[in-house]
Amino acid sequence: MKFAVIVFPGSNCDVDMFHAIKDELGQEVEYVWHDATNLDEYDGILLPGGFSYGDYLRSGAIARFSNVMNEVVKAAEQGKPVLGVCNGFQILLESGLLPGAMQRNKGLKFICRTVPLRVENDKTMFTSEYENGEEIMIPIAHGEGNYYCDEATLATLRENNQIVFRYAGDNPNGSLDSIAGIVNEKGNVLGMMPHPERAVSELLGSADGLKLFKSIVRNWRETYVVTS
């Protein structure tokens, strides 16, 4: 499986994502600059964390207009897995690939620590290696991770089982319904504030995030790889 790590001016977790895919997952991966106009050769698209375009206007608001985002939307429409982490999640929200918006953390401070998450849906292409209700330890590092949507959207997310991860225990940023990650209705676009790419080895304090990437590869193989 071949992944693209999209790099925007201000991305700072692209190397972490590249390491997770190449060194821990053992899959092919390339950096793709934000002005790219074709992603057809890639099987999975990864939008890393950071401060794209300095987070001016709003987090992700300028990156949403990068050339490459037209191709990300195209890949999502084709059913390819698209993962946005932290700033990547914010970009997915700004681009309309996921519903809702991000606000400043409830304490108006940047938060950087490892937190417990609960897997709310193990039937997605991103979570098939987990058990439903499983608690995992994943780092967060953000100042605008307070997810919000209107009541109708929240009802839809619940009804369609689109809430994939919730914060377990304390809600660190005030996110609505303790939401830490959601998928689109088709189930192939995941946005999450916690950083699974920073939890792919026990040397990092947790390997719980590696299952997410293994789930993507497992789904891809079951869907696209024909064995004789």
23 exposure class (CB count in 10 Å sphere: 0-12, 13-18, 19+): exposed
In the residue annotation, 195 being an active-site residue is answered as yes
Task: Choose the catalytic residue: 71, 120, 129, 197.
Answer: 197
Two structure tokens written together for 173: 């940023």
In the residue annotation, 19 being an active-site residue is answered as no
Task: Choose the catalytic residue: 86, 142, 144, 149.
Answer: 86
Residue 121 CA: distances (Å) to CA of 90, 138, 166, 182, 209? 21, 17, 10, 10, 15
Three-state secondary structure call for residue 213: helix
In the residue annotation, 86 being an active-site residue is answered as yes
Kind plus residue range of the DSSP H or E element containing 147: strand 146-148
Q: At what angle do helices 67-77 and 87-95 cross, to 10 degrees?
A: 80
Three-state secondary structure call for residue 226: coil
Q: How many Cα neighbours within 13 Å face the side chain of 48?
A: 27
Distance CA 157, CA 217 (A): 25
Two structure tokens written together for 202: 């026990």
Q: How many Cα neighbours within 13 Å face the side chain of 21?
A: 25
Residues paired with 183 in a beta bridge: 190
Task: Choose the catalytic residue: 94, 142, 144, 195.
Answer: 195
Catalytic residue annotation: 86, 195, 197
